Protein backbone atom coordinates (compact mmCIF):
# COMPACT_ATOMS: atom_id res chain seq x y z
CA UNK A 1 0.00 0.00 0.00
CA UNK A 2 1.12 3.54 -0.75
CA UNK A 3 -0.03 6.52 1.30
CA UNK A 4 0.52 10.23 0.70
CA UNK A 5 -1.00 13.36 2.20
CA UNK A 6 -1.14 17.07 1.59
CA UNK A 7 -2.53 20.06 3.46
CA UNK A 8 -4.78 22.23 1.30
CA UNK A 9 -5.72 25.82 2.19
CA UNK A 10 -9.47 25.24 1.83
CA UNK A 11 -12.08 23.52 4.03
CA UNK A 12 -13.00 19.85 3.46
CA UNK A 13 -16.25 20.68 1.61
CA UNK A 14 -14.25 22.61 -1.00
CA UNK A 15 -12.02 19.58 -1.65
CA UNK A 16 -15.02 17.27 -1.75
CA UNK A 17 -16.68 19.53 -4.34
CA UNK A 18 -13.87 18.60 -6.75
CA UNK A 19 -14.06 14.90 -5.86
CA UNK A 20 -17.83 14.99 -6.39
CA UNK A 21 -17.43 16.34 -9.94
CA UNK A 22 -16.61 13.25 -11.95
CA UNK A 23 -15.92 15.31 -15.06
CA UNK A 24 -12.85 16.74 -13.25
CA UNK A 25 -11.38 13.28 -12.58
CA UNK A 26 -8.88 13.39 -15.47
CA UNK A 27 -7.77 16.85 -14.31
CA UNK A 28 -6.32 15.54 -11.08
CA UNK A 29 -5.83 11.76 -11.48
CA UNK A 30 -2.41 11.18 -13.03
CA UNK A 31 -2.69 8.70 -15.89
CA UNK A 32 -6.37 9.28 -16.58
CA UNK A 33 -6.47 10.98 -19.95
CA UNK A 34 -10.10 11.32 -20.99
CA UNK A 35 -13.55 11.13 -19.39
CA UNK A 36 -16.11 9.51 -21.66
CA UNK A 37 -19.08 9.54 -19.27
CA UNK A 38 -19.97 10.00 -15.62
CA UNK A 39 -22.95 8.26 -14.02
CA UNK A 40 -25.62 10.79 -13.13
CA UNK A 41 -25.57 9.86 -9.43
CA UNK A 42 -21.76 10.18 -9.01
CA UNK A 43 -20.35 9.86 -6.31
CA UNK A 44 -23.04 7.51 -4.94
CA UNK A 45 -21.92 3.99 -4.03
CA UNK A 46 -21.77 1.89 -7.19
CA UNK A 47 -21.66 4.87 -9.57
CA UNK A 48 -18.93 4.97 -12.22
CA UNK A 49 -16.69 7.26 -14.18
CA UNK A 50 -15.97 5.89 -17.65
CA UNK A 51 -12.43 6.97 -18.48
CA UNK A 52 -9.41 6.32 -20.63
CA UNK A 53 -5.99 5.65 -19.13
CA UNK A 54 -2.71 6.41 -20.87
CA UNK A 55 -1.67 8.45 -23.89
CA UNK A 56 -3.52 8.45 -27.19
CA UNK A 57 -3.57 6.29 -29.31
CA UNK A 58 -2.50 3.65 -26.79
CA UNK A 59 -5.12 4.43 -24.16
CA UNK A 60 -7.16 1.80 -22.32
CA UNK A 61 -10.87 2.36 -21.76
CA UNK A 62 -12.16 1.35 -18.35
CA UNK A 63 -14.06 2.61 -15.30
CA UNK A 64 -13.63 3.80 -11.72
CA UNK A 65 -16.34 2.71 -9.28
CA UNK A 66 -17.35 4.28 -5.96
CA UNK A 67 -17.09 1.69 -3.17
CA UNK A 68 -17.95 3.99 -0.21
CA UNK A 69 -18.62 7.67 0.33
CA UNK A 70 -19.15 10.02 3.24
CA UNK A 71 -19.72 13.47 1.70
CA UNK A 72 -17.17 16.00 2.89
CA UNK A 73 -15.18 13.29 4.70
CA UNK A 74 -14.12 10.39 2.48
CA UNK A 75 -14.37 8.68 -0.89
CA UNK A 76 -13.30 5.08 -1.60
CA UNK A 77 -12.84 4.00 -5.21
CA UNK A 78 -11.85 1.02 -7.28
CA UNK A 79 -9.86 2.41 -10.20
CA UNK A 80 -9.53 0.01 -13.10
CA UNK A 81 -7.13 0.04 -16.02
CA UNK A 82 -7.17 -3.42 -17.54
CA UNK A 83 -5.12 -5.25 -18.60
CA UNK A 84 -2.76 -3.60 -16.10
CA UNK A 85 -4.97 -4.13 -13.07
CA UNK A 86 -7.15 -2.43 -10.51
CA UNK A 87 -6.44 -0.41 -7.38
CA UNK A 88 -8.37 0.44 -4.24
CA UNK A 89 -8.03 4.16 -3.57
CA UNK A 90 -9.14 5.84 -0.35
CA UNK A 91 -9.30 9.61 -0.05
CA UNK A 92 -9.88 11.00 3.44
CA UNK A 93 -10.44 14.69 4.24
CA UNK A 94 -9.37 15.76 7.73
CA UNK A 95 -9.93 19.34 9.02
CA UNK A 96 -6.50 20.84 9.66
CA UNK A 97 -6.80 24.13 11.49
CA UNK A 98 -8.91 27.08 10.41
CA UNK A 99 -10.18 26.55 6.86
CA UNK A 100 -7.59 23.92 5.90
CA UNK A 101 -7.80 20.23 5.03
CA UNK A 102 -5.33 17.40 5.20
CA UNK A 103 -6.08 15.14 2.24
CA UNK A 104 -4.88 11.57 2.74
CA UNK A 105 -4.68 9.20 -0.20
CA UNK A 106 -4.08 5.46 0.16
CA UNK A 107 -3.72 3.14 -2.81
CA UNK A 108 -3.30 -0.60 -2.97
CA UNK A 109 -3.31 -2.87 -5.99
CA UNK A 110 -6.24 -5.29 -5.80
CA UNK A 111 -6.03 -7.12 -9.11
CA UNK A 112 -4.16 -7.71 -12.33
CA UNK A 113 -0.56 -8.51 -13.18
CA UNK A 114 0.85 -5.53 -11.25
CA UNK A 115 -0.36 -7.22 -8.02
CA UNK A 116 2.52 -9.75 -8.26
CA UNK A 117 5.10 -6.97 -7.90
CA UNK A 118 6.53 -6.51 -4.39
CA UNK A 119 4.85 -3.77 -2.34
CA UNK A 120 8.06 -1.69 -2.38
CA UNK A 121 8.09 -1.68 -6.19
CA UNK A 122 4.40 -0.78 -6.33
CA UNK A 123 5.05 2.11 -3.93
CA UNK A 124 7.93 3.40 -6.11
CA UNK A 125 5.39 4.00 -8.87
CA UNK A 126 2.33 4.95 -6.82
CA UNK A 127 3.84 7.42 -4.36
CA UNK A 128 5.14 10.03 -6.86
CA UNK A 129 2.02 9.65 -9.03
CA UNK A 130 -0.29 10.13 -6.05
CA UNK A 131 1.77 13.04 -4.70
CA UNK A 132 1.24 14.76 -8.06
CA UNK A 133 -2.47 13.83 -8.02
CA UNK A 134 -2.90 15.56 -4.64
CA UNK A 135 -1.05 18.64 -5.93
CA UNK A 136 -3.48 18.82 -8.86
CA UNK A 137 -6.47 18.21 -6.57
CA UNK A 138 -5.25 20.99 -4.26
CA UNK A 139 -4.97 23.45 -7.17
CA UNK A 140 -8.47 22.63 -8.42
CA UNK A 141 -10.01 22.89 -4.94
CA UNK A 142 -8.21 26.15 -4.17
CA UNK A 143 -9.21 27.71 -7.49
CA UNK A 144 -12.85 26.61 -7.31
CA UNK A 145 -13.09 27.78 -3.67
CA UNK A 146 -11.60 31.19 -4.49
CA UNK A 147 -14.06 31.60 -7.38
CA UNK A 148 -16.95 30.57 -5.12
CA UNK A 149 -15.92 33.08 -2.45
CA UNK A 150 -15.59 35.85 -5.09
CA UNK A 151 -19.07 35.07 -6.42
CA UNK A 152 -20.54 35.40 -2.91
CA UNK A 153 -19.19 38.92 -2.49
- Per residue in 63-92, pLDDT (tens digit) is 999 999 999 999 999 998 777 789 999 999
pLDDT score for 129: 93
Whole-angstrom Cα distance, residue 58 to residue 123?
Answer: 24
Q: How many residues does the chain have?
A: 153
Q: Model's pTM, two decimal places?
A: 0.91
pLDDT score for 78: 96
CATH number given to 2-152: 3.30.530.20
Query: Which range among 71-75, 114-118, 139-143, 148-152 shows the weakest confidence by mean pLDDT?
Result: 148-152
Closest to 25 in 3D by CA, of 12, 13, 39, 11: 39
pLDDT score for 28: 97
pLDDT score for 92: 98
Query: Which range among 35-39, 51-55, 81-85, 125-129 shows the weakest confidence by mean pLDDT?
Result: 81-85
Average pLDDT, the chain: 91
* pLDDT, tens digit, 9 for 90 and up, residues 90-101: 999 999 999 999
DSSP state, residue 98: T
Closest to 15 in 3D by CA, of 97, 80, 99, 106: 99
Whole-number percent of the chain with pLDDT over 70: 97
Alpha helices in the chain (DSSP H): 12-19, 25-28, 119-152
Domains of the chain: which residue ranges?
Answer: 2-152
Confidence class for position 149, pLDDT limits 50, 70, 90:
low
Amino acid sequence: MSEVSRVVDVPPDAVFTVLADGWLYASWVVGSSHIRDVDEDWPAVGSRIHHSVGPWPFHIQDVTVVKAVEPGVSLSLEARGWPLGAAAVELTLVPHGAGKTEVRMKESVVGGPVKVLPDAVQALVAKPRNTEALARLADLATGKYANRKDAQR
